[in-house]
Amino acid sequence: MKDFNELLSRNGRKGHKWISYGTAGFRDKAIELQHIMFRMGILATIRARVVKATIGVMITASHNPEEDNGLKLIDPKGEMLDPTWESICTHLANISDEELLNAINSLIKEKGVDMKDEANVYVGRDTRSSSDRLCKAVIDGIVAGEGSAHDFGITTTPQIHYMVLCVNTNGEYGEPTENGYYRKLSEAFIKLNGQNGAQVVSNNYVPSVVVDGANGVGAPKAKQLKQFLGNSLNMEVINDGNGVLNENCGADFVKVQQRAPKDLHFEVGKRYLSFDGDADRIIYFYKNSDDGLFHMLDGDKIAVLIASHLKQLLTSAQIADIDLCIVQTAYANGSSTHYIENTLKLPVHCVPTGVKYLHHRAQQADIGVYFEANGHGTVTVSHTTIDRIKQVSNDVTLKLLTFIDLINQTVGDAISDMLVIETILRSRGQSIQEWDQLYTDLPNRNIKVCVKDRNVVTTGDAERKCLTPIGLQDRIDAIVNKFGVHSRAFVRPSGTEDAVRVYAESTTQEKADSLAKEVAEVVSELAESVPNK
């Protein structure tokens, strides 16, 4: 390996903290991550040779505080890393410097890798102060692995996913550059909405949005997008990088706190939205003209809007037998599931929490729509479905194909999702308040219960049922029954800390709060009584 010892010496392991690769990749305090970045740079070159394609590395901690950072590896189709490689990442990240070279050579031998093969790696980073230093460590690793690094600098996470897919399809999906990304999305948006769409008010739709950029990478990228959109959409960007990343702003803050971000003059009649720190989540919100209160439209409302629009287009195109479904997790609001099944008449599939599960299940359908309640989601369309749509040539199918071009199918993308949502609202002449009135969310509450060992709690049925400790699910069922119809609760172990997450919903906020509190008390009692595994 090229200059291995020299590069290792400046990216050596400084402590003994164990860090795992999970759904969000690696994520921790930035000071803990330099050696991991170097090792993942090397691993990226090995993975690229195994799959014989370009792969990606994104340095970000998404909605986490500024002092955190992290890393995600991106596979050839722009998807998340093959789950079977997560344990390999974790192993390489946590062994000693002295063991590293032998471990790498063993992996090379096990995978049958020819290190003379080319290995191309696309690298992007968010705006955190630590990201530049950590990016250099990744590139050191790519150099040590004798690969070629293409450093895209500051990008959103979805842009790197997009560009990896583009380069691996030889440009069929799009041009593998940041400007190529803006051109593809803006051209589709303008084609659907008109070059001067911002001057046209359609019924109750006003073509103007206020974007909360979370003081992250999404803010400057939204401003760059404006140059490509021209007069097709009015866009004002706040929290544009002059403040602290994700501090009292951004999609996660709005979703969890259920209130508007800082530095916002909150007015009736305006449509607001928030990105998270790396611009892969989006949450809409507004001030209600009836009660003057904050109202939020999260991932569930977004999924319903998009799926209903796709169903309408497919029906108009007379190809309504396409397998269109929505994929949710247990955190999806019960009212959304009821509306999808009983009003939209579409199938709903529930999977465990985590985008990798949602994305995989969505890909099994002709068209799969998935959004976590936190606003992270997208639409996947199979190649055979696109071919079939192309065979039915009419005005509606041309509109449908252009609409598909507006979607970043690789991963949840706040910028792409914003353009998709604005297109649908304009086509319907709807205000955000009218969109919100599709159904009424059931009041809900999330609680975190700290425990000695989260592993004593295990779940099944897509995390909706508790398997252990024995008796916990029976206790939960008994509590839920006290609160009547439309009430439910579930628990699941945290993926990142020794805690158990409790989710509850009911017909009033008071009931939801009480239900969550009672379930949390039972979780604390039973989890603490079980010996550590």
pLDDT one-digit tens code per residue, 501-533: 999 999 999 999 999 999 999 999 987 776 654
Is 62 labelled as part of a ligand binding site?
yes
Q: 68 vs 26, 125, 149, 339, CA distance in Å? A: 11, 13, 24, 38
Burial of 510 (0-12, 13-18, 19+ CB in 10 A): exposed
**Which residue of the set 62, 274, 308, 506 is catalytic?**
62
Is 75 labelled as part of a ligand binding site?
no
- In the chain, the amino acid numbered 19 is I
Is 474 labelled as part of a ligand binding site?
no
Is 214 labelled as part of a ligand binding site?
no
Is 493 labelled as part of a ligand binding site?
yes
pLDDT at 104: 97
Task: Confirm whether 427 is a catalytic residue.
Answer: no
Q: 494 vs 262, 375, 497, CA distance in Å? A: 29, 19, 6
Q: In whole angstroms, what is the distance from residue 130 CA to residue 527 CA?
A: 38
pLDDT at 150: 98
Is 416 labelled as part of a ligand binding site?
no
Helix (H) or strand (E) holding 461: none
Backbone angles phi, psi at 58, to 5 degrees: -120, 125
Model pLDDT for residues 272-326, shown as the tens digit of each residue: 999 999 999 999 999 998 889 999 999 999 999 999 999 999 999 998 789 999 9
What is the percent of the chain with per-residue pLDDT over 70, rounded to a whole number? 99
**If you search the block for the tokens 């970000």, which residue do you land on?**
60
pLDDT at 496: 65
Residue 259, CB half-sphere, CA atoms under 13 Å: how many? 5
For the chain, which ranges sit under pLDDT 70? 496, 530-533
Q: Helix count (H) and strand count (E) of the chain? A: 18, 19
Tokens of 172: 């069929």
Question: Domains of the chain by range and CATH?
Answer: 4-154 (3.40.120.10), 181-297 (3.40.120), 299-414+428-436 (3.40.120.10), 444-529 (3.30.310.50)
Is 372 labelled as part of a ligand binding site?
yes
Residue closest to 530 by CA, chosen among 474, 453, 460: 453
Give the max Cα distance, the chain: 68
Cross-strand pairs, 380: 368
Tokens of 214: 């979370």
pLDDT at 33: 97
Question: End-to-end CA distance of the chain, in Å?
Answer: 40
**What pTM did the predictor assign?**
0.94
Is 495 labelled as part of a ligand binding site?
yes
Q: What is the CA angle 246-128-213, rounded to 5?
A: 40
In residues, how long is the chain? Answer: 533
